[in-house]
């Protein structure tokens, strides 16, 4: 099994799941910031040009965070990475989808890939009074998403309840960009971040990523 990742990306969450599971895997570090994910030979491996990507021995290519995380959990049931209780599972998926779809792709996406969100047909026009910039829009989405997630995390240590599950890896990767961008995490999310940092699997991954 080959796992493709790049520094500063969302792939850290899948890397954490691989380390929590503890089975052997080959790790392939990519220069995502330098555009390597969008070029050959990776573009043939994953036409979406994104990490995380997981390639199995039989050549199956897996993409999309939620799909990879769910597959890893379902193929390693002894690790209980998806809660048995449907209500807890729903809570975890709700946080995971929101962290990926809104906090990451709508919010931080606007800070990291600003040009992708600029309407090309407006570039020649000056910014109209009262019109917010892409970065300002991103920051507003991030602030709202953090506030909503913080309220959801008020009554539980992990996203689905008392134990670590796949949704925690997604919440961790998306919230860890906040302090890196000078945005303070609200208290319940800061608590979750601290619990995640204390996990041995997270320590191992951060060492591999050269962060410790």
Residues that bind ligand GSH (CB under 6 A): 9-10, 32, 35, 37-38, 49-52, 64-65, 100
Burial class (CB in 10 A: 0-12, 13-18, 19+), 153: buried
User: Which CB atom, from 141 or from 188, has the smaller least distance to ligand GSH?
Assistant: 141
Q: What is the DSSP string of 114-174?
A: GGGGS-GGGTTSPPPTTPPPHHHHHHHHHHHHHHHHHHHTTT-SSSSSSS--HHHHHHHHH
Supply the minimum distance, in Å, between the C-beta of residue 139 and ligand GSH: 18
Supply the minimum distance, in Å, between the C-beta of residue 129 and ligand GSH: 33
User: Which CB atom, from 11 or from 188, has the smaller least distance to ligand GSH?
Assistant: 11
User: Which CB atom, from 69 or from 188, has the smaller least distance to ligand GSH?
Assistant: 69
Residue at token pair 């009262």: 130
Supply the minimum distance, in Å, between the C-beta of residue 65 and ligand GSH: 3
First to last CA, the chain: 26
Residue at token pair 């990306």: 9
User: Which CB atom, from 64 or from 181, has the smaller least distance to ligand GSH?
Assistant: 64
The token duo for 52 is 């995380």
User: Which CB atom, from 35 or from 187, has the smaller least distance to ligand GSH?
Assistant: 35
The token duo for 101 is 């779809």
Supply the minimum distance, in Å, between the C-beta of residue 32 and ligand GSH: 5
Supply the minimum distance, in Å, between the C-beta of residue 118 and ligand GSH: 16
């Amino acid at each position: 099994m080959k796992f493709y990742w790049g520094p500063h990306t969302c792939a850290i969450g899948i890397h954490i799941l691989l380390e929590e599971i503890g089975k052997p895997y080959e790790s392939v570090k990519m220069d995502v910031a330098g555009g390597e994910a969008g070029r050959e030979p990776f573009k043939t491996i994953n036409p979406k040009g994104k990490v995380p990507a997981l390639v199995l021995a039989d050549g199956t290519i897996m993409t999309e965070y939620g799909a990879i995380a769910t597959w890893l959990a379902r193929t390693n049931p002894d690790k209980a990475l998806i809660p048995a209780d449907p209500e807890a599972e729903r809570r975890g998926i709700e946080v995971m989808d929101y962290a990926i779809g809104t906090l990451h792709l709508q919010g931080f996406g606007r800070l990291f890939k600003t040009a992708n969100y600029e309407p090309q047909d407006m570039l020649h026009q000056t910014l109209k009074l009262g019109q917010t910039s892409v970065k300002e829009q991103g920051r507003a989405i991030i602030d709202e998403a953090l506030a909503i997630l913080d309220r959801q995390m008020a009554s539980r240590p992990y996203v689905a309840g008392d134990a670590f599950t796949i949704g925690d890896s997604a919440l961790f990767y998306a919230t860890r960009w906040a302090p890196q961008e000078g945005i303070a995490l609200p208290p319940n999310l800061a608590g979750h971040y601290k619990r995640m940092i204390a996990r041995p699997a997270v320590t191992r991954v951060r060492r591999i990523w050269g962060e410790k």
